[in-house]
């Protein structure tokens, strides 16, 4: 089994961290130089969070310079948030710049969206980007989920999930993440597979196939084998 964490803000000690998964570590543009040397094994997503989109010109200029680096496997997290951050007049133009950059570099996008789904769909219909766009930490209701599936989005599931929506999402559009949560990636996989009534290894293989398709440059993790105790569970 291979576990992939497509969106996280936390990496434990490099030599000691969970050897059984591979992750996409989210960093700000100006953090990348240091992070890429201190986390040799990991890949990165790089962008400006909508909460901090005010006065982000320097970060955006720098992002444009570093984003072609092959260790940056996704642009973001970026997006729109109604509850936190500056007005949409600031957030949406910056979000569009991220989409344009991702298109230019042919890299997927990691999207943060809170209570701004109409705006998200509106921006996507306007720009019609072709790169895979993953809505991270997804836990929307079934009605919304159906709409977003129709719009072509992919979904990353974390510790909080919507049990009614999850089964609606096609298997080839699912990923898992730890974000800032306390739950390990293995437990996120386990919880998600249980809601889907799937065996853990069957679910992990389906997600791994999605990762290989969308993030072909992401290093595979060391395979995970159940030990005797787990086999007895
Ligand atoms: Zn995040």
For residue 206, how far is its CA from the centre of ligand 1 (angstroms)?
23
For residue 110, how far is its CA from the centre of ligand 1 (angstroms)?
9
For residue 7, how far is its CA from the centre of ligand 1 (angstroms)?
6
Q: Answer yes or no: pTM beyond 0.85.
A: yes
The position carrying tokens 């699912």 is 174
For residue 57, how far is its CA from the centre of ligand 1 (angstroms)?
21
Q: What is the pLDDT of residue 165?
A: 98
Task: Please name the residues in contact with 152: beta carbons below 8 A apart, sequence gap of 6 or more.
Answer: 124, 133
Instruction: Tell which phi-psi region holds residue 152, choosing left (phi > 0), alpha (psi between -120 and 50) or beta.
Output: left
For residue 229, how far is its CA from the centre of ligand 1 (angstroms)?
33
For residue 227, how far is its CA from the centre of ligand 1 (angstroms)?
31
For residue 65, how far is its CA from the centre of ligand 1 (angstroms)?
22
Q: What is the pLDDT of residue 224?
A: 61
Mean pLDDT for the chain overall: 92
Residue pLDDT, tens place only, 155-203: 999 999 999 999 999 999 999 999 999 998 889 999 999 999 999 999 9
Residue-by-residue DSSP string for 175-189: EE--BT-SS-HHHHH
Average pLDDT over residues 217-233: 69
R_g (Cα) of the chain, nearest Å: 17
Q: What is the CATH number of domain 3-10+19-227?
A: 3.20.20.140
The ranges assigned to domains in the chain are 3-10+19-227
Structure tokens at 149: 């599936």
């Amino acid at each position: 089994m291979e576990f992939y964490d497509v969106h996280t803000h936390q990496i434990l000690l490099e030599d000691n961290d969970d050897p059984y998964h591979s992750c996409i570590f989210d960093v700000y543009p100006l953090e990348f130089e240091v992070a890429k040397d201190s986390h040799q094994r990991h890949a990165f997503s790089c962008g400006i969070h909508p909460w901090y989109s005010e006065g982000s010109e320097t970060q955006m200029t720098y992002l444009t310079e570093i984003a072609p680096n092959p260790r940056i496997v996704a642009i973001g997290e970026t997006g729109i948030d109604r509850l936190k951050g500056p007005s949409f007049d600031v957030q949406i133009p910056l979000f569009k710049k991220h989409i344009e950059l991702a298109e230019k570099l042919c890299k997927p996008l990691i999207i943060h969206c809170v209570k701004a789904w109409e705006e998200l769909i509106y921006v996507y219909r306007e720009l019609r980007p072709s790169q895979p766009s993953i809505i991270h930490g997804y836990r929307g209701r079934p009605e919304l989920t159906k709409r977003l599936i129709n719009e072509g989005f992919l979904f990353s599931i974390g510790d909080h999930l919507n049990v009614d929506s999850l089964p609606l999402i096609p298997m080839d559009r699912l990923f898992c993440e730890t974000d800032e949560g306390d739950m390990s990636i293995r437990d996120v996989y386990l919880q998600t597979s249980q809601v889907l009534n799937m065996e853990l290894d069957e679910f992990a293989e389906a997600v791994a196939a999605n990762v290989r398709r969308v993030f072909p440059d992401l290093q595979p993790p060391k395979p995970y084998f159940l030990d005797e105790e787990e086999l007895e569970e």
